[in-house]
Structures are given as structure tokens and as C-alpha cells.
Structure 1
Amino acid sequence: MKAARYLAFAGLTSLALVACKPQTPAEPATSATPATEAAPATPAPAADAATAAAPFDAKAFAGTFAGTLPCADCPGIDTRIVLAADGTYTLTETYQDRPAPPNKGDGTWTVEESDTRLRLDPNSKSDNDRLFAILSKDEIRQLDQQGKAIESNLPYNLKRTAQ
């Protein structure tokens, strides 16, 4: 019985020493792909480089988006969002057939979700963030508070306009 304990202790000690042994530069790290299977590095063809997606350019995306969004108790809400290249925005909403002055807001905007979603973060913390899907460089579509598409045939899209 003592011999079995001694062997178990010796085995665990050896395992611990091997696991704690630092690798030296002479010992290459193990790789999932053996060196014999590695393909030599070759530059990508020019055609592939041309078709690769360019990174999102927030400054180039900045501009004015406008349209009429649905309204529960009026014909529509004329909406204008001006996205500035410095990451700030202004929002103007005018309820149709109402004598009230337009609602105005401002804050910062960011692009998220791999350049597919626009977030408006208002300076007024009593207002919720607004989310829009980026459909193209010239069109965005309002999303719900969870960032999901609004299932409706109503017009939730805003299109780029001239300043």
C-alpha cells in the first residue's frame, strides 16, 4: 500500500514539474498545424484586394437624414437628423397637424454592430437612445429599443438629403 502511495506521489510530482517547466526559445511552442502542412505566405491577388470591404468611414457617413416616421395619433412625424463628422448630432421632430413647436434634441452618435447600426445617445439623459439600421450610405431605418427591426409596412426609413 505504501508503495502505491509513493508511486502516485512521484507521478503527481513529475507531472507538476513538467507542467511548470518554462519553454525556452529553443523549444518551439506546439502548434495545431504541423510545420510541414503550413503553406508559404503569398500576397493576395490584386483583384481580391479590390473587392475587400473598405472600413467604415464615420466622417464620410455624416450628413442629414430626413423623412416622415409613423405617429400613433397624427398623420406622421417629420424627422430630421443631422450627423456631424465630429460624432455629434441634432434631431428635429415636427408632429404633423399639431400647432406645437418642433421637438429638438442633440447628443452623440456612434456606429456599432460591425457597422450595421447607428446609435443616437442624447445629451438629455431622460431620453432613451435611438437605434437605426444602416441600410446603405444613403438610408437608415428606425429600430425598436432592443435594436430589433420593427415589423411593419409603415415607413420607418430616413434618407440622406442635401444640407
Structure 2
Amino acid sequence: MNRKLLLLAVLSTIAVAACKPEQPPAEAAMPAATAEPVAPVAVESAPAAAPADVPFDTKGFAGVFTGTLPCADCPGIDTRVALNRDGTYQIEETYQGKPERFSGDGTWTAEENGKRVRLDPNSKSQEDRLFAVASPEQIDQLDTAGNAIETTMPHSLKRSGAVTQ
């Protein structure tokens, strides 16, 4: 029985010791008489955040972009894309020389920290559209894989106004 009590006492002591938080060692203070004065050090200001470090401002980028995009069987497609501040968009396309006019809507998101804009249509029969952000005033249409379209024909939409949403 004494062995059991001894074992219980040892285990209790170990458990209590393990639960006790360690106290950090006190820092040694230098006496004031022996401390040498320290010369002031020039502090450099931190460099401005690099553009990649600054998050893309989707609400600030929102706006209306218009232009004429290429068309396979007509002179061009007059296109108007309204990127709303709430993350929705509307698109209107009028085929030059034809009676066709299409409109759509959905949501838009900025990708690659604002280097690309994706239009995700509400209609499941349409594919997403991608645009490269060339500048705050211009977006350029990309192919479905997100690559630049290699042609001499213009693929740009320019900012033509602000949105109210």
C-alpha cells in the first residue's frame, strides 16, 4: 500500500509541476552610472507600398466602358459594359449593319490584383468574358483562356462615364 501512496504522491507532484506556468527571467538592469549615452540614429521612412501590395479598389474602378469590338461577319460590335460598384455588371452589344442587339448581366470580379476583370454572366448558356486592365481608363478584351488576342483590330473599351450603383 505504501508503494501505491508513494507512486500517487510522485505523480501528483509531477502533475502540479507541469501545470505551473514558467515565469520569464527578469532582465538585468544596468546601473545608470555605467550606461553610456547613445547617439541618435536617423530613422528612414518606410518606402511607399508597391502597387502589388495595394489591394485593387473595385468600387473605385467601377464605371462604364464603351467601344467597338471586332465582329466576324459585320464591321464591328458596339459594346457598352457597366461595371457597378456592387459587383454586378450589364453589357449591351449592337452588331453594326445588323438588327441584332444583345444584352446581359451578371457579376464582375477583379483578378490578379486588378490586372484582369472577369464578367460572370447570370445566363448559364454564356461563357465568362475576360478583360485586361490596361489603365484606369481602358480595358482590353482577352480570349477565353485569358490571353491577349493577337490581331491588329482594336479590342479595347474606354471609360465613358461613372456608374450610379
Do both proteins adopt the same fold according to a TM-score greater than 0.5, normalized to the shorter chain?
yes
Using the aligned pairs only, state the percent identity: 58
Amino acid across the alignment from 2:78: D
Q: Following TM superposition, by how much is the alpha carbon of 1:52 offset from its aligned partner in structure 2, in angstroms?
A: 3.2
Q: Distance in 2 between matches of 1:121 and 1:138?
A: 21
Number of equivalenced pairs? 121
- The answer to whether the aligner puts 1:109 opposite 2:99 as a matched pair is no
Match of 1:118 in 2: 117
Q: Distance in 2 between matches of 1:81 and 1:151?
A: 22
Q: Which moved more, 1:66-75 or 1:52-61?
A: 52-61
Match of 1:65 in 2: 65
Q: Following TM superposition, by how much is the alpha carbon of 1:114 offset from its aligned partner in structure 2, in angstroms?
A: 2.6
- The answer to whether the aligner puts 1:86 opposite 2:86 as a matched pair is yes
Match of 2:132 in 1: 133
Distance 1:43 1:156, change over 3 A: farther
Structure 2 unaligned residues grouped into runs of 5+:
1-21, 24-41
Match of 1:52 in 2: 50
Distance 1:52 1:104, change over 3 A: same
Amino acid across the alignment from 1:98: K
Match of 1:21 in 2: none
Q: Could you list the per-position Cα deviations for residues 107-148 of structure 1 after superposition, in whole angstroms to 9, with x for gaps in the alignment?
A: 000001232110000000100000000011110000000001
Q: Distance in 2 between matches of 1:95 and 1:128?
A: 19
Match of 2:3 in 1: none
Q: Contact 2:55/2:113 (CA < 8 Å) preserved in 1?
A: no
Match of 1:143 in 2: 142
Q: Distance in 1 between matches of 2:143 and 2:99?
A: 27
Structure 1 unaligned residues grouped into runs of 5+:
1-24, 27-41
| Higher relative contact order, chain-length normalized (CA < 8 Å, sep 6+) | 2
- Give 3-state SS (helix, strand or coil) of 1:59's partner: helix
Q: Distance in 2 between matches of 1:136 and 1:116?
A: 9
- The answer to whether the aligner puts 1:153 opposite 2:152 as a matched pair is yes
Q: Distance in 2 between matches of 1:43 and 1:113?
A: 34
TM-score, reference length from structure 2: 0.68
Q: Distance in 2 between matches of 1:73 and 1:119?
A: 26
Q: CA RMSD in A?
A: 2.0
- Give 3-state SS (helix, strand or coil) of 1:64's partner: strand
For 1:19-38, what aligned pairs fall within 5 Å after superposition?
none
Q: Distance in 1 between matches of 2:81 and 2:44?
A: 41
Pick the structure with greater CA Rg: 2
Distance 1:115 1:91, change over 3 A: same
